[in-house]
Amino acid sequence: MFDTKIAIVLRSDLQSWQKLNVTAFLSTGIAGQYPDIIGKPYRDRAGNVYNALSIQPVIVLSADEDNIATIHRRSLERGVTSSIFIEEMFSTGHDAANRAVFAEFAPEDARVVGIALRADKKTVDKITKGASMHR
């Protein structure tokens, strides 16, 4: 049905609240880059209107620290723009602080806790190789 795939990969050692927080943030990055994935608002039988959601499924994967670093590197090597959340962003409180702490790191020393990407299915599968379904 879709030529592309959306994948979110979370570092496996995160606490539950961190996984949920990172997933939420990374999802907005994908929606911001690809606004065409957002469908139409939902309406229930009573006529209440709800926010539009993604028209495309999202797969959530898990990887250890080394594998998520490899996935990050692969995404860069293949030129796939991704959403990234690094460990140090947990200690900030707003977007400007997130950007500032993010700018202190390069790909080789960033402690990535989550990455989200959308590309053609084969490319996403190659980039995320080694990650497993999140449980």
User: Cα(128)–Cα(135) distance, rounded to whole angstroms?
Assistant: 16
What pLDDT, in 10s, does the model give residues 88-131?
999 998 999 999 999 999 999 999 999 999 999 999 999 999 99
Check pLDDT > 90 for residue 23. Answer: yes
Across residues 15-41, what is the average pLDDT?
96
Q: What is the pLDDT at residue 72? A: 98
| Strand 58-63 to 4-11 pairing | parallel
Check pLDDT > 90 for residue 79. Answer: yes
Q: For the chain, what are the domain ranges?
A: 4-133
The CATH number fitting domain 4-133, selected from 3.40.1490.10, 3.20.20.100, 2.40.50.140, 3.40.50.2300: 3.40.1490.10
Q: What is the pLDDT at residue 135? A: 81
Q: What is the pLDDT at residue 36? A: 95
What pLDDT, in 10s, does the model give residues 45-73?
999 999 999 999 999 999 999 999 999 99
Please say whether the beta carbons of 112 and 18 come within 8 A.
Answer: no
Alpha-carbon torsion (54, 58, 63, 66), positive or negative: negative
| Residues 6+ away with beta carbon under 8 Å from 71 | 9, 63, 115, 127, 128, 130, 131
Take residue 41 and report the two structure tokens written for it: 């608002």
Q: What is the pLDDT at residue 93? A: 87
